[in-house]
């Protein structure tokens, strides 16, 4: 589908919803996807970003985590491909690598390797800046979209009784710029983990949303290397996870465009990889498998080290608020920021964009957007709930992780540990695990009777330690 076809759709849909002007704050992945969806339903969309966009697929200040390994899960790719037809072919033409799960991956977890077979389930691997630049160029090409770069949002505008958001106050990030009011029928906050929405809402007389916080003390260190296929025979990627409670170190090596490997080493609870040559290699060698160390020990580095710290899984429960203004939505990490080790963030943002599109289609033809926020948060919560349960469930395997543990977590973790161990030997258990991990199937998939029976059989067959481990 051409960009002109996308623009034609935007004009056609905008007349159906009665929407006139939508504002999106933040032009990272969540904001870009929101802007793309809103372009189908509103006459005009304004995208506001604090940064200046780089001319190419380069890192930018507002996305510091973009320098590290990112994964676009299968469900996320499916949604984004619908929003941007032809995107994935352009990514692969630009050097992104597609590989099979688990056929092309050395996946070490729970004392062994996930059984390798070609399932037909594939993911596309590239750097975050490359993906974001490709998405951004398509969004900026929408003829009903205006982008304000290097622009800050200072506060929300509301009607007299403060029950509806009517726009934002903005100022350009240049000397002598004046604050201006920008009216809108809908405002979407996609500013990420540092979102100011809780404070903005309190300033308008609303209560702050409840928070869920699970402290994990994750730190990760990343370096780029030139690919050396001879150091990774028979595979394209490596994923090595710790086995709690004693193991706290993990890492991943993925291929990205330009014939490069991106290698990220992570540690929980303050056990972080050093940002220097020998310390980085020693950390890689200390992982549960030596695969990453073997691949990079003689590989050519192409970058310096970069680090990032992630203190906690953080969730704002906007869906629980008794009062919430009309004309306002929150998306992406501004709702929930997950432990990045599990690679869920971009795909959850895609699910939220899909939910927003569905909500707007249902109110097509109405003059007002009444009830949109309540409907959207209810739908977005389903996607967030599943990802949150998977992330914090795994994190709570570490005894020193702090936070309110959801009821039943220990029992679920006991069962999921059997899934992990079964996936070392059984293709169908492994298939179910990767389906859930990639969000193409609900978590209940691994609890199906057929899978549970296979887990029992595998537990009996492999109850003794494997001498090969």
Encode pLDDT of 12-44 as tens digits.
334 344 579 999 999 999 999 999 999 999 999
- pLDDT of res. 303: 96
Q: At which of 310, 328, 361 does a domain end? A: 310
- Does residue 83 lie within any of the structural domains? no
User: Domain check: are 185 and 327 in the same one?
Assistant: yes
pLDDT of 11 over the 50 cut: no
Average pLDDT score, the chain:
92
pLDDT tier, 45 (very low <50, low <70, confident <90, very high otherwise): very high
pLDDT tier, 3 (very low <50, low <70, confident <90, very high otherwise): very low
- Does residue 114 lie within any of the structural domains? yes
- pLDDT of res. 291: 97
User: Domain check: are 295 and 222 in the same one?
Assistant: yes
User: Domain check: are 299 and 222 in the same one?
Assistant: yes
Give the mean pLDDT of 152-161. Answer: 96
- Does residue 342 lie within any of the structural domains? yes
- pLDDT of res. 466: 47
- Does residue 466 lie within any of the structural domains? no
- pLDDT of res. 56: 79
User: Burial, 221: exposed, middle or buried (Cβ in 10 Å; 0-12, 13-18, 19+)?
Assistant: buried
Cα–Cα distance, 291 to 275 (Å, whole number)? 20
pLDDT tier, 465 (very low <50, low <70, confident <90, very high otherwise): low
CATH of the domain at 73: 3.50.50.60
User: Domain check: are 164 and 25 in the same one?
Assistant: yes
Instruction: For residue 5, give Cα distances in angstroms to 9, 38, 458.
Output: 6, 15, 52
pLDDT of 131 over the 50 cut: yes
User: Domain check: are 192 and 323 in the same one?
Assistant: yes
Encode pLDDT of 177-198 as tens digits.
788 999 999 999 999 999 999 9
User: Domain check: are 175 and 318 in the same one?
Assistant: yes
- pLDDT of res. 218: 96
Encode pLDDT of 349-404 as tens digits.
999 999 999 999 998 766 678 899 999 999 999 999 999 999 999 999 999 999 99
pLDDT tier, 229 (very low <50, low <70, confident <90, very high otherwise): confident
Q: At which of 284, 310, 336 does a domain end? A: 310
Neighbours of 387 (CB within 10 A): 22
User: Domain check: are 368 and 449 in the same one?
Assistant: no
Write down the pTM of the prediction.
0.92
User: Domain check: are 427 and 280 in the same one?
Assistant: no
pLDDT of 468 over the 90 cut: no
Counted domains in the chain = 3
List the domain range (segments joined by +) for residue 253: 99-124+212-310
User: Domain check: are 322 and 369 in the same one?
Assistant: yes
- pLDDT of res. 16: 45
Cα–Cα distance, 95 to 100 (Å, whole number)? 16
Nearest-10 crossing angle of helices 372-395, 409-422: 70
CATH of the domain at 216: 3.30.9
Region of 37 (left: φ > 0; alpha: ψ -120 to 50; beta: rest) is alpha
User: Domain check: are 286 and 241 in the same one?
Assistant: yes
């Amino acid at each position: 589908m051409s960009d002109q076809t996308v623009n034609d759709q935007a004009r056609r849909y905008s007349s159906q919803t009665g929407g006139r002007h939508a504002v999106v704050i933040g032009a990272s992945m969540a904001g870009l996807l929101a802007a793309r969806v809103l372009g189908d339903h509103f006459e005009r969309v304004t995208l506001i970003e604090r940064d200046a966009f780089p001319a190419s697929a380069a890192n930018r200040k507002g996305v510091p985590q973009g320098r590290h390994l990112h994964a676009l899960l299968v469900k996320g790719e499916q949604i984004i491909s619908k929003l941007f037809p032809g995107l994935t072919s352009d990514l692969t033409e630009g050097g992104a690598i597609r590989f099979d799960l688990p056929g092309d991956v050395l996946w070490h977890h729970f004392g062994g390797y996930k059984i390798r077979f070609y399932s037909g389930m594939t993911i596309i691997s590239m750097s975050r800046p490359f993906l974001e630049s490709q998405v951004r160029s398509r969004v900026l090409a929408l003829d009903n979209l205006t982008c304000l770069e290097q622009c800050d949002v200072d506060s929300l505008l509301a009607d007299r009784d403060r029950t509806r958001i009517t726009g934002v106050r903005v100022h350009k990030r240049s000397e002598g710029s004046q604050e201006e009011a920008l009216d809108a029928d809908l405002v979407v906050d996609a500013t990420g983990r540092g979102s100011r929405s809780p404070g903005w809402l309190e300033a308008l007389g609303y209560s702050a949303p409840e928070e869920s916080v699970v402290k994990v003390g994750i730190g990760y260190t990343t370096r780029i290397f030139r690919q050396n296929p001879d150091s990774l025979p028979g595979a394209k990627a490596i994923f090595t996870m710790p086995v709690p409670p004693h193991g706290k170190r993990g890492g991943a090596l993925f291929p990205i465009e330009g014939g490069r490997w991106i290698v990220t080493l992570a540690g929980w609870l303050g056990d972080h990889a050093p940002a220097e040559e020998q310390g980085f290699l020693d950390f890689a060698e200390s992982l549960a498998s030596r695969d990453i160390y073997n691949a990079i020990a003689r590989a050519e580095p192409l970058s310096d080290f970069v680090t990032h710290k992630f203190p906690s899984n953080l969730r704002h429960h906007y869906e629980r608020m008794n009062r919430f203004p009309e004309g306002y939505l929150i998306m992406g990490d501004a709702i929930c920021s997950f432990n990045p080790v599990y690679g869920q963030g971009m795909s959850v943002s895609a699910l939220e964009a899909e939910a927003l599109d569905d909500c707007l289609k249902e109110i097509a033809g109405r003059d007002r957007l009444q009830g949109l926020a309540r409907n959207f948060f209810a739908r977005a919560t389903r996607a967030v709930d599943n990802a949150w349960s998977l992330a914090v469930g795994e994190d709570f395997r570490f005894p020193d992780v702090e936070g309110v543990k959801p009821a039943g977590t220990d029992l679920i973790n006991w069962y999921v540990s059997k899934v992990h161990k079964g996936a070392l030997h059984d293709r169908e258990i492994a298939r179910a695990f990767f389906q859930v991990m990639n969000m193409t199937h609900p978590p209940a998939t691994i609890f199906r009777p057929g899978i549970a029976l296979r887990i029992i059989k595998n537990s009996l067959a492999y109850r003794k330690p494997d001498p090969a481990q």
